[in-house]
Structure formats: C-alpha cells, structure tokens
Amino acid sequence: MLGGDLRDQAVWVDEAICIGCRYCAHVATNTFVVEPNLGRSRAIRQDGDSTERIQEAIDTCPVDCIHWVPFESLEALKQDLVRQNLQARPQG
C-alpha cells in the first residue's frame, strides 16, 4: 500500500474518451499516468492514493471518463481496451 485505502471498488479510465489533459495525473500522482505512446491516462495501481484523492481526480476530469468499477470487472475492461486498438492522441 502506498498511501491508499483498501476499498471495494477499483478505479478505471475509459481511454477511448480520455483527452490526455493530465489533470488526474496531477491530482492523484501515484495512481494515474498518461501513457506516453497513446497519450491517454491509465490507473497504474489501485492503492497509490486515498479514496478522497482519487475522487478529486475523478471530479477534475473534464470528460468524465474515470469511473469506479468492481474489481472483478477490471480484467474484462482491460481486454476490451486492447480490442479497441486505440490510436495515439496528438501530443500537445
């Protein structure tokens, strides 16, 4: 654990919607990283920040693409993400 809480929900970024603004990564620095190839944010760990801090990051997202999801659905969401074969966002 890295300053995070045990919780029953996992945090998930819908990368198809993410515009790569980095707000979330500035708020919850241990949790969100804008992946350099795709230019979209990803939750790299689930125990990096407090629930409040992650919620703050969710609230700051301008396109509402960060969601609390059941831990059990994470794997299916990841597989679905791979299937979407997202293209890189222009860096800016």
Q: Which one of 3-11, 44-52, 62-70, 82-90 is the stretch in contact with ligand SF4 (CB under 6 A)?
A: 62-70
At residue 40, the 3 state secondary structure works out as strand
Alpha-carbon distance of 32 to 85, in angstroms, equals 20
Q: 11, 18, 43, 54: which one contacts ligand SF4 (CB under 6 A)? A: 18
| Nearest Cα residue to 92 out of 17, 12, 43, 34 | 34
Alpha-carbon distance of 88 to 34, in angstroms, equals 12
Q: 11, 12, 28, 41: which one contacts ligand SF4 (CB under 6 A)? A: 41
**Rounded least distance, CB 26 to ligand SF4, Å:** 9
Q: 7, 9, 10, 22: which one contacts ligand SF4 (CB under 6 A)? A: 22
